[in-house]
């Protein structure tokens, strides 16, 4: 039985709720099996996928507060899973790389994530899952597009004075 009310049936609310609920349900599993939280794994994955990524680039991809990203990086560096390499031209900038231990842990976490996603999608047929993933990908592409930004700006202008 759904607990949604008329005011809470917005798709953005439901997507946010789905994200929060699945992270809350799965975070302890990641901590037990890898010693890291889902957010730490997210940072590790992004660095492993983008060797040499800067803090600014990582923060943008991670969609976290700057201070949260910084704390997660420090924790992973201290654990020997990431390394920071200062830019030879600008000491204020640094590049991030996964260590061998970080990459191995990331791979172990990928297997966990695959298994947990399979459990999440047990409510769907294979075709429904594929369609959902395609639609979600399409929405993400749209939201990241200039056309979406332009549509928002146009809509906002049309609301001026109302």
**How far is it, in rounded angstroms, from Cα 49 to Cα 43?**
10
Residues 75 and 26 in one domain: yes
Could you tell me if residue 3 is inside a domain?
Answer: no
Predicted local confidence at residue 4, as pLDDT:
55
- Tell me: the pLDDT tens digits for 101-119? 999 999 999 999 999 999 9
Residues 36 and 67 in one domain: yes
| CATH number for the domain harbouring residue 33 | 1.10.10.10
Count of domains for the chain? 2
**How far is it, in rounded angstroms, from Cα 33 to Cα 26?**
11
pTM: 0.82
Please calculate the CA angle 50-52-90 and round it to the nearest 5 degrees. Answer: 145
Predicted local confidence at residue 88, as pLDDT:
78
- Got the DSSP string for 131-157? HHHHHHHHHHHHHTSHHHHHHHHHHHH
Structural domain span for residue 62: 9-123
Residues 148 and 94 in one domain: no
Residues 64 and 134 in one domain: no
**How far is it, in rounded angstroms, from Cα 97 to Cα 117?**
27
Report the chain's mean pLDDT, rounded to a whole number. Answer: 92
- Tell me: the pLDDT tens digits for 32-80? 999 999 999 999 999 999 999 999 999 999 999 999 999 999 999 999 9
Residue 134, token pair as written in the block: 């395609």
Residues 77 and 143 in one domain: no
**How far is it, in rounded angstroms, from Cα 29 to Cα 36?**
9
* Lowest-confidence segment of 14-18, 22-26, 119-123, 157-161 by average pLDDT: 157-161
**How far is it, in rounded angstroms, from Cα 30 to Cα 112?**
7
Residues 34 and 114 in one domain: yes
Which pLDDT band, with edges at 50, 70 and 90, does 5 fall under? low
């Amino acid at each position: 039985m759904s607990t949604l009310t008329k005011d809470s049936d917005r798709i953005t609310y439901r997507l946010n709720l789905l994200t929060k609920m699945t992270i809350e349900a799965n975070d302890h599993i990641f901590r037990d099996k890898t010693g890291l939280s889902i957010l730490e794994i997210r940072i590790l994955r992004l660095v492993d996928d983008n060797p040499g990524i800067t803090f600014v680039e990582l923060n943008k991809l991670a969609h976290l507060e700057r201070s949260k990203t910084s704390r997660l990086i420090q924790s992973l560096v201290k654990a020997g899973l990431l390394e920071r390499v200062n830019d030879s031209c600008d000491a204020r900038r640094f590049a991030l790389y996964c260590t061998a231990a970080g990459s191995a842990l990331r791979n172990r976490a990928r297997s966990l994530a695959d298994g947990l996603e399979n459990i999440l999608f047990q409510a769907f047929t294979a075709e429904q899952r594929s369609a959902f993933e395609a639609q979600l990908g399409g929405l993400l592409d749209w939201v990241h597009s200039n056309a979406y930004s332009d549509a928002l700006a146009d809509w906002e202008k049309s609301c001026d004075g109302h």
